[in-house]
Amino acid sequence: MRAPGSWLLELQRLGLLVLVSAGLGWLVGRPWLALAIALVGITLYWLRQLLRVHRWLENPEQLAPEGVGIWGEVYDEIYHLQRRNRESYQRLQSTVDYLQDSFAAMRDGVVMVDGTGAIEWSNTAAQKMLGLQIPRDQGQALLNLVRIPAFNQYFLSGDFSEPLKLNLGNERRQIVQFEITTFGEGDRLVFARDITKVAQLEQMRRDFVGNVSHELRTPLTVIKGYLETILAYGDQLEPRFVRPLQQMDQQAQRMENLLKDLLWLSRIESVESTPKHKQVDVPALLQELHDELFTTYPERRLDLELECDCKVLGDYRELHSAVSNLVINAFKYSPEDTPVTLRWQRWGELEGQKAALSVVDRGMGIAESHLPRLTERFYRVDDSRSSQTGGTGLGLAIVKHVAASHQAELQIESRLGEGSTFRMVFPLP
């Protein structure tokens, strides 16, 4: 409301000045000359005010110029805008300083990278971990300073849904986990965490499990051998000893299966990060597995649907083990009169880019609350039911690691009373 009135008043002043100039010119007999002089004067005055505004904007620290009329209000508005901008800038700068101070206090390394990949800031932990030197390296491309091909590929891929674990190969044999978060217009926060001790403990755990499993096989084989020998002469034993010996033999067999799964899982984990170079004929593998399971489970119906002849880069034994575990689980947790479907098909919006291997059953299904933990070792949805089926609790853990070692995505879909679908989606070579 204020601005239109100010402009109207300014126009009235200009109109009055023009009329006065024209009147004085008419008195002296030169009205047009007087009018021209008045317009030139007004123009020079406005140009002078514009020059003052220009000089002030170039050097906003100087005092605001003073003016009358509309120009005084323009100066006031610019001054208030500058003050508000300064206050906003100070608040933003305070927030940035607070964040940088917080990141600086972190044990994890933090690097701020702009949209072009240049380093804007990093904390002390990142400088020690990655060999950066601030402020010398500010403005330098991060990929020129961290020359690790796997990190470069991860940084440029744009897919940061999963962290990247790398062995830096330095004297300390550091193992670092990288996570990248995007913000703003293409800017990124690169977090680097030293997980050397965690990785060493995990390796010690794997070695322990593998060694203990291996060492237990010999005494277990001896025990199982004697039990089988004794039970072979069951007709000569007292009846009261037959049942306990049979139960001992069953539990020895169950323990043997558990040790086999533990050893196999340790083997898969040890080669999980090893690239796969051999092509596996998946349709042939599934056909072979179908024939084997038909012999082992003649009472069960397994429908094989081969919708494509795609091959994947991988390990035949690992894939055979993973699919076998999925199908046997489907047999265990679905009624005998319902079929299990084993399907191999192209997958995804970009046809030809991926292929999916699915095992579909029509069993009791799994509650949604259990799905995130299904692939944990020894996790059971129902302990009593799992003990009846004789499972080791390692089948889906093996499947998860096989999928990871083949860069495949494991998808689990299930509804209570309707059945479950376990799917591994493979990238195609």
Q: Are 151 and 191 within 8 A, CB to CB? A: no
Amino acid type, 201: L
Helix spans in 117-238 (H): 124-130, 142-145, 149-157, 196-232
In the chain the domains, ranked by start, together with CATH numbers, are: 4-100 (no CATH), 105-196 (3.30.450.20), 276-428 (3.30.565.10)
Q: To which residue do tokens 């998946």 refer?
A: 282
Helix spans in 59-123 (H): 70-104
Q: Tell me what pLDDT residue 422 has.
A: 93
Q: How far apart are CA 326 and CA 374, in angstroms?
A: 12
- Can you give the pLDDT of all 429 residues of the chain as single tens digits? 445 556 677 677 777 777 777 777 777 777 777 777 777 877 787 787 778 777 777 777 777 677 666 777 777 777 778 778 877 877 777 776 777 667 776 788 888 888 888 988 888 888 888 888 888 888 888 888 888 888 888 888 888 888 888 887 666 678 888 999 888 778 888 888 888 888 888 778 777 777 777 788 788 888 888 888 888 887 887 888 888 888 888 888 888 878 887 777 777 776 666 777 789 999 999 999 999 998 888 899 999 999 888 899 988 998 999 999 899 989 988 888 899 999 999 887 655 588 999 999 998 888 888 888 888 777 777 654 445 555 667 888 888 988 888 888 999 999 888 899 999 999 887
Q: Are 276 and 315 within 8 A, CB to CB? A: yes
Q: What pTM was computed for the model?
A: 0.57
Task: Extract the tokens encoding 264.
Answer: 């196999």
Q: Residue 180 is inside which H or E element, if any?
A: strand 175-183
